[in-house]
Structure 1
């Protein structure tokens, strides 16, 4: 049993090694069809505790795609990516780097918020998704890439990098460089950097922000020469 004609899911969850969003991804229909279908994704257990699916946002013809890790608390509540403090910091850095945030497509490697919570009324604490959860969500990211066909992907943090480039990815080793790799069957240019939330957590926030800005300027130059 699997997805039913009404978009819901009938049947038990698959075993962990069989997690995948693949059966829920529609053929055709562009971003609106993908977003609608993703709202009912049951490809891994993360949908059980999350408020809602947080799909990507932006134009289908965006030249740059920004890929983060997963929705945070505010994104989970509002249903939109990068609307919390990290998103606001990212918008500021993009503008300073010479890229208009409105011209970018923003999304996450994982579309549901994964968190821990000591008590129901306590604050929900972000928890990094597992490799299997990232792999399960991969078909959504592949579908977004196929529709948007960005000229450049900005990889925000280690989790997004591992989702796109494999488990050996280390953001500290390649940040601020232009990589050329085949991703989901397409040749892509990528510029990795840190996730903006790491800037907010940094002891020296000013230095961390300067590093993010420097990496995004590399991306802006790569986009300009694309």
Structure 2
């Protein structure tokens, strides 16, 4: 039988050729086969979409993680920059006051014009004068005695003897080897007010509390100091 004719026939178990039928058990029509293929393609496309969506979600999570880390890093950098600016500004404010030093020693000599007491040294290594200066020393009675002193010029160290008011004694320091409570110096430079004591240098306001008890001052002596000025 020619192939063109045979294509529309099928061989029965008896050996005879009979017309093909789409409803033979176990056989499927061409429409069913196309539908099955279409369903498979849809399923594959759906699975592909799920995988793509899952990958996109994972990518979004990773991007979100790195974005959060970047934001956290930027916040840390901002805080460090703010702290650096604060330190820089504080250093600029202290450019002159940080060159002021104060120390005291027990006086080893005394006379009718030089009372027994403590020799205070005020060193100004800045290129600006120190103004509105005041020394403060606690007394044994619990009060505080003060002494206002003249301006200290630039590049000078001034030494002077201080003594407590009559009938008073300096308070004893917690550090027994000092023999007295450390002296406090208040001063002003270029419009800024400062307080210098054994705890270091701190900025203060222009207003101060006056004390009734006055320290005795004697024998002020000034001498120049090296390593002084803007570039020191």
Which structure features the higher share of helix residues? 1
Which protein is bigger by CA-based radius of gyration?
2
Same fold (TM > 0.5)? no
Normalising by structure 1, we get a TM-score of 0.25
Which structure features the higher share of strand residues? 2
Normalising by structure 2, we get a TM-score of 0.24
